[in-house]
Amino acid sequence: MKATDLLKKQHRKVEQLFSKLEKGRGDLEGLAHELANELAAHMTIEQKLFYPTVQAIAPDLIAESLEEHAIAELALKRLLQTHSTEKQTFKARVVCLKELIQHHVEEEEEELFPKVESKLGEEALSELGKQMKALAEESLEAGYEALIPKSLSKASADKRPKRAPSPGAN
């Protein structure tokens, strides 16, 4: 499976989970944890394999995507900290995360993927897809708690600390 097809398949899975969460029935916390696992695995394969491979094709889109991942992690953490009995807050957090993810998916599928598919050959996309599928399976097994930093000040998309040196430090 091509890398872009794998990512689209994951996008559809996440959309289904959002749809179930928005209906507000069933085990909402369980669905939120399933969503967290799917999103964390998806972001992991993009950050570790897909984005580094396609960075030169669309550097601005990749930089924006990494920022969207960081914000999505924060929104996901806030959702996971909310009990479903807090109906208004829970729903608001689902909606905000969904809107962010929808924007991210739209940019990838309408702008990034066509550029990537035109620059990389079918063979390269298929090989990348195999690597991404294997990492996605490992990541899903590990779960979001192993993939997303616990701190609210760090996201897995951060490449290095953003702290400026202390005044007078060498």
pLDDT attached to residue 164: 41
C-beta separation of 69 from 158 below 8 A: no
Q: What's the predicted TM-score (pTM) here?
A: 0.86
Angle between helices 3-23 and 28-45 (to 10 degrees): 160
Residues whose CB falls within 8 Å of the CB of residue 103, separated by 6 or more in sequence, listed in order:
68
* pLDDT tens digit at each of 170 positions of the chain: 999 999 999 999 999 999 999 988 889 999 999 999 999 999 999 999 999 999 999 999 999 999 999 999 999 999 999 999 999 999 999 999 999 999 999 999 999 999 999 999 899 999 999 999 999 999 999 999 999 988 765 555 545 434 444 344 44
| Domain parsing of the chain, residue ranges | 3-143
Q: To which residue do tokens 């914000």 refer?
A: 71
3-143 has which CATH code? 1.20.120.520
pLDDT attached to residue 24: 83
Q: What is the amino acid identity at position 143? A: G
Q: To which residue do tokens 């996971």 refer?
A: 80
∠ CA 6-120-53, rounded to 5°: 70
